[in-house]
């Protein structure tokens, strides 16, 4: 309240009461209990029959197919990278080829995981000169960020060790 405004008399103040229990927000252990019960539960409580059939069909066909494709791709990429590192470990052209392969592989993994497009904001302002060293700091909400950064920038990663 501004010092220039006149305060209402004490009798005009209305008493503050708590809202009824149905309107109160959960606090403390109630929040933890709700999160533990189902942090991955669906937000739509009543999916129709078509949605359930579609989910079942995808769980039977697409999910195993993606898992197999990711396993085959990662194992073949590992063998290719290991053989390439033994042939030309310290050559400048080998480094350029490996950066290209890492960027391609990370994009392919993003596609296999279902990330068709990823919107990145702020790259133009922070582009810098070509070849200039840069540091990007991220909260690491998920490991998908690593694949996005590898595809966009081709950097090296340093992470805090978790115990």
Reported as a single tens digit per residue, the pLDDT across 60-91 is: 999 899 999 999 999 998 888 887 778 777 77
Highest mean pLDDT among 77-91, 121-135, 149-163: 77-91
Whether residue 61 lies inside any domain: the answer is yes
Residue closest to 95 by CA, chosen among 159, 154, 158, 136: 154
CA distances from 157 to 57, 87, 140 (A): 38, 24, 11
State the Cα–Cα distance between residues 118 and 70, nearest whole angstrom: 19
State the Cα–Cα distance between residues 128 and 30, nearest whole angstrom: 48
Residue reference for tokens 């195993």: 64
Whether residue 100 lies inside any domain: the answer is yes
CB-count burial class (<10 Å; 0-12, 13-18, 19+) for 21 = exposed
Whether residue 73 lies inside any domain: the answer is yes
Q: How many domains does the chain have?
A: 1
The pTM score is: 0.57
Whether residue 130 lies inside any domain: the answer is no
**Structural domain that includes position 114:** 49-118+137-152
4: pLDDT strictly greater than 80: no
């Amino acid at each position: 309240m501004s010092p220039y405004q006149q305060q209402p008399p004490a009798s005009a103040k209305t008493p503050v009461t708590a809202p009824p229990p149905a309107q109160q927000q959960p606090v403390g252990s109630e929040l933890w209990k709700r999160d533990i019960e189902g942090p991955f539960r669906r937000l739509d409580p009543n999916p129709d029959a078509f949605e359930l059939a579609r989910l079942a069909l995808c769980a039977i066909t697409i999910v195993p197919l993606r898992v197999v494709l990711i396993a085959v791709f990662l194992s073949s990429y590992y063998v290719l990278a290991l053989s390439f590192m033994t042939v030309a470990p310290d050559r400048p052209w080998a480094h350029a080829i490996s950066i290209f392969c890492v960027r391609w592989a990370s994009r392919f993994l993003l596609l296999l995981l279902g990330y068709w497009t990823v919107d990145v904001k702020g790259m133009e302002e922070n582009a810098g000169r070509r070849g200039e060293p840069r540091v990007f700091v991220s909260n690491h909400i998920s490991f998908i960020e690593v694949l996005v950064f590898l595809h966009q920038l081709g950097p090296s990663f340093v992470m805090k060790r978790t115990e």
